[in-house]
Amino acid sequence: MNKLTLGILFGGASSEHDISCISAKSILENIDKEKYNIVMLGITKQGEWFLFDDDVTMIPNDKWLKSKSLKKAYITPDSKIHGIVTEDAEQIRLDAVFPVLHGKNGEDGTVQGLLQLAQIPFVGCDATSSGSCMDKAVTNAVADAFGIEQAKWCAFTEYEYGKDSRKCLDLAINKLGFPIFVKPANAGSSVGITKAHNEEELILGIEKAFKEDKKVILEEFIEGQEVEVAVLGNEEPVAAEVGQIVAAAEFYDFDAKYNNPASELHIPALLSEEKRNEVRQEALRAYKALSCEGMSRCDFFVTKDDQKVLLNEINTIPGQTSISMYPKLFEAVGVGYTELIDKLIDLAIKRGGII
């Protein structure tokens, strides 16, 4: 069997750089090396691209940057090259790429657009879908158009807030009431999120979110369970088991997600089978509404009082670390990690280069 030459992109100029590196290590340790010639391409926090050909355990904590194997290289948009050009003009043709990049400059359609120009098959959603899911305000607007239920929300830009902060604050307070969740519109891994109980905290939360993005989204507080669904596929996607997060902190922010071992994961979620099936169906509706392909993790709230299923967000490159929900949810339905990686690459190859 001829091996496929697979590019693995990791790191990235993003606040989620470190999580990307951990995800990449996890994938590289679980991928079937009998099927693929692996080409690792790391991106620094400053946006420099390097070929890396060394021990995968060096990838976390940016130890890979000290490797003697490093060579400057990048993926070129030239579709005839169909891959990488190095600093000494060497060309490496790629059969497919797995962009293991979280957050801005990787999960937001930027890298996907580059790969589409190069006509290289790649794992995950295309540029349009990636950008739409990354921008939570766009996600919510599309969900509204498709009749997918979600929390009440509003959004505004840094320019709009600077021009008339009072108008923006009144919009949020009058529409949502306290407490209010404040989030950067374009960020993942729960980065930059604040729960505001009053106007003073709301202002501080908005300022914090603007450090991550020029647009913020504000949502009403939902009392209930926070659940996640892993979805896989192109034209005929399938939803895995439903998982649930019980945050150790007041809410599931970046620190609770990655640094607090007291946060609990329940697979399956603490819901009836009927309600879990409803969540899975809503995940498939959202996945199709946002034109997702390959994979996504769809996050929902299930309200405490009336058990309504409300869309929270869609992550098009979900975490692949040892504690990440996406691979665990498929493992719960009998799809092991190595098989899951194969399926993702196979979906990319079947879709082909996007023109």
Q: Known catalytic residues?
A: 16, 189, 324
Q: Is 107 annotated as a binding residue?
A: no
The answer to the question of whether 222 is labelled as a binding residue is: yes
Peptide bond into 184 cis (omega under 30): no
238 among the known binding-site residues?
A: no
299 is in an annotated binding site: yes
- Write the burial class of residue 187 (CB in 10 Å: 0-12 exposed, 13-18 middle, 19+ buried): buried
**71: annotated binding-site residue?**
no
The number of beta carbons lying within 10 Å of the beta carbon of residue 293 is 23
Q: Is 34 marked as binding a ligand?
A: no
225 annotated among ligand-binding-site residues:
yes
Residue 2 assigned to a binding site:
no
User: The tokens of 99 are what?
Assistant: 């962009």
Cα Rg of the chain, angstroms: 20
Q: Is 214 annotated as a binding residue?
A: no
d(CA 327, CA 34): 21
Query: Is residue 312 a known part of a binding site?
Result: yes
Cβ-Cβ contacts under 8 Å for 250 (sequence gap 6 or more): 195
178 marked among binding-site residues: no
Name the packing angle between helices 136-145 and 127-134 (round to 10°): 100
Q: Which of 260, 230, 228 is nearest to 247 (CA)?
A: 260
Q: Binding site for Mg(2+): what residues are annotated?
A: 299, 313, 315
Q: Binding site for ATP: what residues are annotated?
A: 136, 181-183, 189-190, 219-226, 312-313
Q: Binding site: what residues are annotated?
A: 136, 181-183, 189-190, 219-226, 299, 312-313, 315
